[in-house]
Structure 1
Amino acid sequence: MTNFLSFTGRVMGIENFPIMTNDPNVGCYKLFTLTDMDGSTVNFVVGPATYFVRHEKVRVGDIVTGYYDANAPAPLIYPPQYPAIVMAKVHSDYLVTVSFFNSQLLSSDGTLQLNPSRQTEIVLENGQDFNGNIGNRDLIVIYSTSTRSIPAQTTPSTIIVICY
C-alpha cells in the first residue's frame, strides 16, 4: 500500500536529471518543475518507470498532477523534490485519482468509492487486460463524473492496476 500525495501545477521547466556523476543514462531521467496558482513549486524526478496517464507527452506550459509516495525518502531541499510515480495532464473532460483502494473499493482517504461496470476497462500499466481482483491494490482511476455524496461514487471508464 502506497501513501499517495499529489501536487498540481503548470510545468515551468523540463530538464535532464543526472542520477549519478558521469551518468551513462543522461536523458533517461528528467526534472519537471511545477508551480501552482499560489506560487508554490515542486520538482518531480521523472524516470522510465513513471507512468503517464493515457501515455500523453507533457510539455512546458501544460498543467499536470504529479503523484508520489509520501512515505518514500526525499531530500530536505527547497523546492521539494519527489520521485514521480504517476503524472497526469489536467483535462476538463475527465478526472484522475491515484490511491490505494481497499476490498470495498474505497480510496485510502475515504473520498472516492468505485463502482466498476462491464464497460470499465481494467488494465495493467502496459495496457494488457487485468483479470484479477482490483481490491486492496494501488490503482489509477480515470472517470468523468461522480456523485456529490460522501464518499463520492463513480463508475470509472478506466482502472489501471499498479503492479510493483
Structure 2
Amino acid sequence: MAEYESFSGVITRIDDFWVGNGRQAGCYKLMSVENSSGNRVDFVVAPATYFVDHTMVSVGDTVTGFYDTSMAAPAIYPPQFRAVVMARDVPGQSVKVDYFNDQLLSGDGTLKLNLAPSTGVLIQNGQAFTGTPANRDLIVVYGPTTRSIPAQTTPSQIIVICER
C-alpha cells in the first residue's frame, strides 16, 4: 500500500531528466524545490505525474510535491523522489494525497471528507468517476476545515488514483 509524504517550496530549477533510451527525451523533468529553511528536494516528474488542475508550473512557483515513501529512492543528496502528484500553491486551497477508508478518513487520521452534490469526483484523465471514492488513494482539493480532530471538510474536488 502506498504511503504519501509531501514537500513544499519554491521551484528553483527545471531540467530534462534522462531515462534510458532517446525516445523518452523531454518526457521526464527534474524539478528542484527549496523550502524556506533552505532544504531541497529534487522531484522526478514523469508523464504520469498528476498536476492538480492540470496547471503548468515554472521556476519561481511555490508547489507541493507528493511522493510514495514505499517506492525505492536513491540514497543521494539532495533527496530525489518520483513525484506522484504536484500542486501549485493557490491561496485558500489545500491538497491532500492519501488513502481514505470506508468512512472517508485519511490514512494518517487527520482529515475526514464530507461529500456534497457539488463535490466533483473524477479520475486522473478528467472524466467522471462513477464508483465510491471510499477505500481508495485520493487526491483531495479542499478549502476551509473544521477545527475538530480530525479536521473535516467538504472538498471541491476529488481525483481518484486508479492506477500507479
Shorter chain as denominator, the TM-score bin is over 0.9
Query: What is the aligned partner in structure 1 of residue 138 from structure 2?
Result: 139
Query: What is the aligned partner in structure 1 of residue 93 from structure 2?
Result: 94
**1:73 alignment partner AA:** A
The 2-side partners of 1:114 and 1:23 are apart by 44
Query: What is the aligned partner in structure 2 of residue 106 from structure 1?
Result: 105
- By how many angstroms is 1:63 displaced? 0.4
**1:116 alignment partner AA:** L
2:2 is the counterpart of 1:2: yes
**1:152 alignment partner AA:** A
**1:84 alignment partner AA:** A
Paired residues, what number? 163
**1:115 alignment partner AA:** N
SS of the residue corresponding to residue 5 of structure 2 reads strand
- Between the aligned residues of both structures, percent identity stands at 53
Query: What is the aligned partner in structure 1 of residue 67 from structure 2?
Result: 68
SS of the residue corresponding to residue 115 of structure 2 reads coil
- By how many angstroms is 1:11 displaced? 0.1
- By how many angstroms is 1:24 displaced? 2.2
Deviations 1:97-144 (A, max 9, x none): 111101110001100000011110001011110010111100010111
The 2-side partners of 1:119 and 1:133 are apart by 15
SS of the residue corresponding to residue 128 of structure 2 reads coil
The 1-side partners of 2:103 and 2:92 are apart by 26
The 2-side partners of 1:59 and 1:16 are apart by 13
The 1-side partners of 2:148 and 2:31 are apart by 35
The 2-side partners of 1:94 and 1:35 are apart by 21
| Unmatched segments (≥5 aa) in structure 1 | none
SS of the residue corresponding to residue 54 of structure 1 reads helix
Matches within 5 A, 1:1-164: 1-20=1-20, 22-164=21-163
The 1-side partners of 2:95 and 2:5 are apart by 13
List, as ranges, runs of 4+ consecutive aligned residues in structure 1 with deviation greater than 3 Å.
none
- By how many angstroms is 1:88 displaced? 0.1
Deviations 1:30-81 (A, max 9, x none): 0000000000000000010000000000000000000000010000000000
Kindly indicate whether the alpha-carbon contact (under 8 Å) linking 2:4 and 2:67 is maintained by their aligned counterparts in 1. yes
Compute the TM-score of the two structures, normalised by the length of structure 1. 0.97
